Amino acid sequence: MKNLQEQLNHISSYTSKLLRKKFGRGPESCSATLSKHYLLLHIRGFISPMEEVLLQQGKSYDVDHARTLIIANVLDELKGVVQISFGVDVKEYYHDWNFPNNTGIILLVFEENVAGYEDQFTFDNIKKFEEEVARISALVQKVPNSIETIPLSETVFLVERKGILIAIEKALISKGFEKQLIATKDELEKDYFHRYSKFNEILSREIQDIFIDWDLHDDKSIMIFKLK
């Protein structure tokens, strides 16, 4: 039986091969981080020549939309491997891409905890960190009803925000403008979280990447903070 690191290496390798199969090229690297409730895949160096041309023309929305369609197909195959490896069902997934840094993440959320695995990372300033998440969220939309932070490693934090949508956003979703809303929120929130936050002071570390995705129908958002 494979040990944990061998399983994670296998899943990382399998994901790279899947991306190569579906997109015509694979990433430069893909690393997996496990929590008892989450599996995070951090991807680097994954912009194709065609996507690069589109990005240079300012068509990041088109690139992101195409990736969303293909990633859904990738996840259909990946979920089975993950479920067999860890003996848990995958109930939902999120993904996001930082095109300027040529990085991205895929996050799988499990129905139940991974048997025998205990989370081992904590940090001292979690209250101040969550207060800052709430403050920046309020600048863009509103203070979330709840914020939960889960350290996945010494350099990666997951933040789940629930109750973040304002009335006009809910109205746009009901009228079918979900894709446009996500694209706008993605650009606006990342700009505010990078430019106006005090995370570097709170954590005494520099933020390298922030990834954000939403489940608008359940009114929640997942954020991944990657530290240098």
Instruction: List, for residues 7-55, the tens digit of each pLDDT value.
Output: 899 999 999 999 998 888 889 999 999 988 899 999 999 888 888 898 8
Which residue carries 């296998």 as its tokens? 10
Pairing of strands 146-151, 207-215: unpaired
Q: Where are the domains of the chain?
A: 4-110, 126-227
- Ramachandran region of residue 74, left (φ > 0), alpha (ψ -120 to 50) or beta? alpha
The candidate with the shortest Cα–Cα distance to 199, out of 155, 161, 162, 163, is: 155
Query: Which CATH number is 4-110 given?
Result: 3.30.980
Residue 146 in contact with residue 161, Cβ under 8 Å?
yes
Q: What is the pLDDT of residue 1?
A: 43
Total-model pTM: 0.91
Looking at per-residue pLDDT, the higher value among 106 and 46 belongs to 106
Share of the chain above pLDDT 90, in %: 59
Long-range contacts of 18-26 (CB under 8 A, 24+ apart): 18/74, 18/77, 18/78, 19/43, 19/46, 19/74, 22/70, 22/73, 22/74, 23/48, 23/70, 24/48
Q: Given a cut of 90, is residue 156 above it in pLDDT?
A: yes
The candidate with the shortest Cα–Cα distance to 150, out of 109, 115, 200, 189, is: 109
Radius of gyration of the chain (CA): 17
